[in-house]
Structure 1
Amino acid sequence: MIQNHLSLIMGNKVGDITSIAEISKFRVGQVYAASVMYGYFLKRVDQRFQLEKTMKVLLNEAEEENSVQQTTMDNARPGIEEDTSQGMSHPEVSTWPGGDVSPGGYGYGIKATRLRNYVMSLDGDTLQRYATIRSKEAISIIEKHTEALFGRPEIVVTPEGSVSKDENVKISFGGLKKLVLEAVTFGSFLWDVESYVDSRYHFVLN
């Protein structure tokens, strides 16, 4: 799932570590903050995934494999069409190989990891809730950390309107990849710290 996140940001340059890109510092900051939130989301949803595995709520390995195979076979049958245009899915599902999402939530034709299968099986409301930062303190940490790294864009008011005077920076795709991975890791640690502090001070509302 992290590899898919990298692909969304870098496109076909994921494997290119030497090419240099020129991008606004503000945009790099946005990518960094979004990746922190993605790492936070992954750690949060993985915690629930591990809990349900421990409680044996989820299918076992063999049952899950059969479920994926059955879904693939059902989708491959001629004369059967499913309208999934109204369905809600994880924001990154549509970019995965195979494109479509089956009614059961599994990506068509994808040999996915179990965590990815689990995420794709969640409904839209649950995904939205798990993708939301729980406390204003954590939001403040993300904002201040990102601003400390990339600064705040300068806004100049002109007669025509507000114009951002943001400087461009040159960064290799290898450096951008490391930056994204660092941000995802930071988001994962942020979830751990927030949960630890909440266990003592109970400041998280949801």
Structure 2
Amino acid sequence: MDANVSLIPTLIPSSDNSGRVDTWPSQEGKFESLHSPEACEMIQNHLALILGNRLGDSTSVAQISKLRVGQVYAASVMYGYFLKRVDQRFQLEKTMKILPQGVDNEEIEIQRKRKPSLESSDESFQNAQPHPELSSLSGGGFSAGGFGPAMKLSRLRTYVMSFDGETLKRYATIRSKEAVSIIEKHTEALFGRPEIIIIPEGTVDTSKEELIKISFGGLKRLVLEAVTFVSFHRDVESYVDSRYHFVAN
């Protein structure tokens, strides 16, 4: 509220001929002001992993499965929760000047092999994998394209890459059932309750999936909201837990 950022309303097609669901402003600058500079760099990496070459394309409109968009939104919520926790630890250690050796550098350039990405088509979101950023961190690789043969690693990303798999998992786990419930209700209010049909072969029947029209700028706004919403949610969880001690150890 202080930053004057409104939440996205329930996704329904607009009344004009376009039928698009994204009638809201981008407010990207306002979102950036709510995160540390290091976290903003990580969020941009997350967006690049999901949108690929479409990251800078805010006007093109795609027809995408509403369920798939919801899955990417939920994955971005989980990423935002993880990012908030590790950024809090990073900022504390930076203030105390006890960051691990090598993380004090402003940036580190690494070479990487080119791997398949989610870029280059209107179906970027259709094939998105859960937690693409966490998968690349824990696996030691970089799964998205769009950066060229080399990329700059921010200090926070370098810091996170020093974690072992168990630490990554611990920081990515939502710590209370109350938090899970609120996130589920928030996501359902935005996307509605999906109708998932399992066919006899054990796979999901996609023939009746609802398709929505949304711009890539709208998709970017959804991801930014997901990451930021849960960032504030994590602050509230910490505040309440300091008084009632309700989170899991």
Q: Which range, TM-score by smaller chain?
A: 0.7 to 0.9
Give 4+ residue runs of structure 1 displaced > 6 Å after superposition: 157-162
SS of equivalent to 2:219: helix
Deviation at 1:112, TM superposition (A): 2.2
TM-score, normalised with respect to structure 1: 0.75
In the alignment, which residue of structure 2 is the partner of 1:31?
72
**Residue 98 of structure 1: how far off its partner (Å):** 7.4
Q: In structure 2, give the amino acid aligned to 1:163.
A: D
Number of residue pairs the alignment of both structures matches: 181
Larger radius of gyration: 1
**1:90–1:119 Cα contact (<8 Å) kept:** no
Give the secondary structure class of the aligned counterpart of 2:67: helix
Distance 1:43 1:155, change over 3 A: closer
Write out per-residue CA displacement over residues 131-160 of structure 1, whole angstroms, 9 at most, x where no aligned residue: 111111111111111111101122457778
Are residues 1:19 and 2:60 paired? yes
1:100-179 superposed matches below 5 A:
110-155=151-196, 163=205, 165-179=208-222
Deviation for aligned residue 1:110: 4.2
The structural deviation recorded for 1:91 is 5.6
After TM superposition, give the deviation of residue 68 of structure 1 in Å: 4.9
Counterpart mapping for 1:79-94 below 5 A: 89-90=137-138, 93-94=141-142
Do the aligned residues in 2 keep the contact of 1:89 with 1:123 (CA within 8 Å)? Answer: no
After superposition, the CA RMSD in angstroms is 3.2
134-143 vs 90-99, which moves further = 90-99
Partners of 1:147 and 1:119 lie apart in 2 by: 31
Correspondence 1:201 to 2:244: yes
Q: Answer yes or no: is the 8 Å Cα contact 1:14–1:173 preserved in 2.
A: yes
- Report what 1:183 is aligned to: 226
Identity value in percent: 70
The residue type paired with residue 65 of structure 1 is N
1:43 is displaced (CA, Å) by: 0.8
8 Å CA contact retained: 2:63, 2:212: yes
1:65 aligns with 2:105: yes
Q: 1:5-38, CA deviations, whole angstroms, 9 ceiling, x for partnerless residues?
A: 1112112100011111111111111111111111
Query: What secondary structure sits across from 1:199 in the alignment?
Result: helix
Relative contact order (alpha carbons < 8 A, sep ≥ 6): 1 or 2 greater?
1
Counterpart pick for 2:143 among 85, 90, 95: 95
TM-score (norm 2): 0.63
- CA change 1:143–1:65 in 2 (3 A) is same
Q: CA deviation at 1:56?
A: 2.4
Q: Higher helix share goes to which structure?
A: 1
| Structure 1 residues 205 and 24: CA distance shift in structure 2, 3 A | same
How far apart are the structure 1 equivalents of 2:101 and 2:197?
58
